[in-house]
Structure 1
């Protein structure tokens, strides 16, 4: 396509060249090219954007006819973006990339959600009509109202199920539009200290403002752990959207936050199995469902591998490791080990065996990769055709779950022997011991921060992180729990976010960040502050709604009856086998 000229600068010999004639020539050329390609599948594509670029830059031309160098460079860059980004897939949130074609599994998911939405609307319509017909009527003889006898429990269960999938279908449509349909713009992340630290100050002020009295004053009670998850998740979100991973001190401290989540995984699940002694199938399926439901749906709808949402595979595998360690014979629980040192010694042997296995796998990358490259594990843990990313993520926090289990064991043993003072307002130990431990904790906390801030590179820091991250985690726990007044209060603001922390972590991938976390979603172009407010509000609301949907479905999909549960597990196994078969067919068609 011929670009326009700057008529005022043309020499006398070129005055006959006008933009009006150039437009006519371009139209004639396009018409001829398209008419000659009628028998082909697609018409000739014209790089028309070069004309728009020329209109903006032709005034910088030296003679009014030839374009300046900047114009040619811009046109070449756009042309390369259009045709090369699909192959190169650059790490850039704003790069032009074509909308990926729908896979067979995505089409089936669309049909399922569409049928769920239609079914829910039909059921709601029928229910309302029946409700109108079954209104209470008055008995003419007694003058009393008669209420119709109806059995609504089956309808209510079906309605709840369809209502959950109705909401989930609308939410998944929003996910797809945000991060797959090229409907909304994306922008890149540019880290500045103010973009990270100012929001941190804001949330800390809000967290302190919403301080309330705790219902329990035990160490690491439920309200406190929810608060802990909440403020950590908010810091991680700010870390991701501000691109703070480029600043090494922040990166190292956020690595401790991720390790603290895994520490809570070890602490929480060990405490449950040790106290309750419940190793039943129902408990395992409930935990696995709540952890994986959203990620599995997103893998289907967004066509992403399971390992892409790395944290969920991480906590899932560690939960299974904790379960296997404690459930394998002999099952040692608090009730059995009460007052018997032999059983405590047996549990310690189990934990030492676990630590030995972790150490062996951490120093045997080949063995680790062979294990997780076996089918069907490879379908879950491969990313870009190999399991190296999974190896890296697992190795980075390999000891912290064990640390959480050991801490739970020691804490529960001390609590059983009434060594700890957990009354309201009481320090955790005697005043002298509490003051010494508090001083040591503060020194350790600050020492770790100084070390993390002085690291030279990520590789060096990551090598030491698995062994030393527990220092700051334990220091924080003691600082938070030794003073009685600190243990007696919690932030309801942070606790609210803590209860949906998993959903927040997963949802950010597509509806807050964008381009698979490489960029930032832009719902309102030209106004960054308003855009971040609106997108954040929608993001948090969606995460909260998905948490409610997951809880509702967990109660319905995972029954307490073992026979029914086994039948459903067989159905689920068949469902995923079908998905794997369809995925294999899809891969063959692509190649």
Structure 2
């Protein structure tokens, strides 16, 4: 009885449910034990990190350990600051942060005004100017003891204004508490001018501001999330920068005598005593950047370079703005200083999963007794889909698992690809099935034996082999290498070629254009991508292969359905292909057409579609599906007329047949090698290659399929592991966005909490 497919499926579903439950409990325990120190990963942002490996373009990024910071745009900062007041208080190092803040939030006339202020000669004056996004103020107070500072601290309110107060106008800004205050610890001035009493002066300044500081970020992240949802604002915050570590070798003689490593360390030690290690007041990471003097410092050795100053400000904005940004959008990619957002769809999916599990377990006995498995099969399938959705949110949407940036390392990527090839080759087995591309034999014409050109087993093998490389390509961020990108583009075109070929073979063989069949295919292609767009708060086009496959299936369906009686006439079929090619090209490339279609889709199904993304994806492969359609029509015509399989190379016994096989094999090898040489050598950038790709992608694809069937031995064996992966390639492609990668496939998941906390 255990061999019954329904019972086997039931056992698999039970195993999936148990694995998910164990993973949830295990990670919750890990989060309880480890995450208590940094439940929202604020400390990971403010206290630790490392520089990324050097990218192919020579750039590097600072990456907190255990979470992802983002580079906030002007628009996102405007949303975060909401026209409120931002105050910087301190010496010239804090003024440097002030200027960088001005650059990040100014645009248009505000930027011009900021440049005029920069030209002022009075370096020790207070500065204030209004931008479209915020009121920026700098208070020159290197000792942190001015009347202006204490006035700001006394009026500071950690809570945002109530929504009842209405829109924040320019007149009301000065009446409200600052939304963000950045204070500079008075270390350099205490060391430079305080003499032997420098530490007491420093302690006095710090002790004066401690009573006014707001609660730690970690203590009220959840309340910030709730406040943001209800009021649209963010909780106000004060940050205190540590005493900076200068480039001592570049300091002037007078400064080097007073600003010494011992004095800087003593003042920072006092800060560490006042503010414990789990405090989020101080971004200690400012002093942990592994820096190079010539690159990360100004010539005076005291001020950081513009890049480092901008990075410091990005860290402050991530600590301040990420929580509200995450509350507004579940698709926000930053994971530092955020809590898991609310997700009603996830809660509903968990409840339905419990019902499905209970129904399945309760109905198993009825299945064994009565054999009526329809309801149980539905429950199992429904449960497995819910498990996939729950796991996607658990892995990527919530904050249970860590997220890490991807970096392209060619050696690691090459090793992974070689391993995949070796594993695939070792899984080679004998093909005992007859090549038959159709799923039904009821309407097969007399004498038809199925297409010999590309069997279902071969097509699944090709899809699985390509899918393995695509998964590695995304995981290793190999899109940074142009030569890899060109090859992966061929794999995507190969998918669409196989899809066009297979669907056309089915239509021509069975003449089945029923609505039921249409709905089944569209449901299979779109179920996961549409469900995940609701679950994860993403757009439908985030999982772009599903909408692309849907589009080309509908194109082939409509083309072959219209005047379907003429499909037997090759001339009529070629005419329909040419006409449809021009119509689809117009539909894809004409501005406004896809935009209108996306609005209609949203009105009907509440599905968000990015027209520009779809235009790019569809345009890249706008011809290869029609190549698959034409080849399928030719193969079908030859199979029916000759009543035998097509293109069985290596089976002929005559001299002419052997010569034809060798000639065709040589042409295909030459075509593939020439294609690779020309594209890798003479198409130097993505834009140029993307322009040529639609016109030439068919050359290596057709060549590979012929070579795959060039001998009897190759045709009679297949790779079982890629074949299995190819049978679920669409599901694998969609799910990789959240259980293999994360952040809409822009980062990768890490198990548990990252080291270095």
SS of the equivalent of 1:366 reads: coil
Kindly tell me: are residues 189 and 482 of structure 1, through their superposed partners in 2, closer, same or farther at Cα, counting changes over 3 Å? same
For residue 593 of structure 2, what is the aligned residue in structure 1?
Answer: 368
**1:274-293 maps to which residues of 2 (within 5 A)?**
274-293=508-527
For residue 94 of structure 2, what is the aligned residue in structure 1?
Answer: none
Q: Structure 2 residue aligned with 1:243, among 453, 477, 489?
A: 477
* 1:389 is aligned to 2:606: no
* 1:115 is aligned to 2:339: no
- The answer to whether the 8 Å contact 1:50/1:75 transfers is no
For residue 580 of structure 2, what is the aligned residue in structure 1?
Answer: 354
- The answer to whether the 8 Å contact 1:400/1:466 transfers is yes
Q: Structure 2 residue aligned with 1:171, among 381, 384, 388?
A: 388
**1:366-515 maps to which residues of 2 (within 5 A)?**
366=591, 368-369=593-594, 371-376=596-601, 387-418=611-642, 426=651, 430-454=657-681, 455-515=683-743
Kindly tell me: are residues 260 and 427 of structure 1, through their superposed partners in 2, closer, same or farther at Cα, counting changes over 3 Å? farther
* 1:82 is aligned to 2:266: no
* TM-score using structure 1 length: 0.71
Give the unaligned 5+ runs of structure 1.
35-40, 135-147, 338-342, 529-591
- C-alpha distance in 2 between matches for 1:437 and 1:473: 14
SS of the equivalent of 1:219 reads: coil
- The answer to whether the 8 Å contact 1:361/1:367 transfers is no
Kindly tell me: are residues 445 and 15 of structure 1, through their superposed partners in 2, closer, same or farther at Cα, counting changes over 3 Å? closer
- C-alpha distance in 2 between matches for 1:519 and 1:527: 17
**Structure with a larger share of its residues in helix:** 1
Q: What is the total number of aligned residue pairs between the two structures? A: 486
SS of the equivalent of 1:376 reads: helix
- The answer to whether the 8 Å contact 1:120/1:159 transfers is no
Give the superposition deviation at 1:165.
Answer: 3.5
- The answer to whether the 8 Å contact 1:514/1:521 transfers is yes
Give the superposition deviation at 1:404.
Answer: 0.3
For residue 533 of structure 2, what is the aligned residue in structure 1?
Answer: 299
- C-alpha distance in 1 between matches for 2:601 and 2:483: 38
- The answer to whether the 8 Å contact 2:513/2:561 transfers is yes
- The answer to whether the 8 Å contact 2:213/2:238 transfers is no
- The answer to whether the 8 Å contact 1:99/1:182 transfers is yes
* 1:197 is aligned to 2:381: no
Deviations along 1:112-132, one digit per CA (max 9) or x if unpaired, are 32332342455467658xx6x
Give the superposition deviation at 1:296.
Answer: 1.2
- The answer to whether the 8 Å contact 1:227/1:494 transfers is yes
- The answer to whether the 8 Å contact 1:116/1:162 transfers is no
- The answer to whether the 8 Å contact 1:425/1:488 transfers is no
Deviations along 1:154-197, one digit per CA (max 9) or x if unpaired, are xx544443444444334322211322223322222221221221
Deviations along 1:299-356, one digit per CA (max 9) or x if unpaired, are 11011111111111111011111111111134345xxx4xxxxx33322222222223
Kindly tell me: are residues 393 and 84 of structure 1, through their superposed partners in 2, closer, same or farther at Cα, counting changes over 3 Å? same
Give the superposition deviation at 1:97.
Answer: 7.1
Kindly tell me: are residues 431 and 361 of structure 1, through their superposed partners in 2, closer, same or farther at Cα, counting changes over 3 Å? same
- The answer to whether the 8 Å contact 2:482/2:685 transfers is yes
Superposition RMSD in Å: 4.2
- The answer to whether the 8 Å contact 2:400/2:752 transfers is no
Q: Structure 2 residue aligned with 1:12, among 190, 196, 201?
A: 196
Stretch of structure 1 that moved more, 274-283 or 115-124: 115-124
Kindly tell me: are residues 293 and 18 of structure 1, through their superposed partners in 2, closer, same or farther at Cα, counting changes over 3 Å? same
Give the unaligned 5+ runs of structure 2.
1-182, 218-226, 229-233, 249-258, 269-286, 288-301, 436-451
Structure of greater relative contact order (alpha carbons < 8 Å, 6+ residues apart): 1
- C-alpha distance in 1 between matches for 2:491 and 2:361: 48
Q: Which has the larger radius of gyration?
A: 2
Kindly tell me: are residues 439 and 266 of structure 1, through their superposed partners in 2, closer, same or farther at Cα, counting changes over 3 Å? same
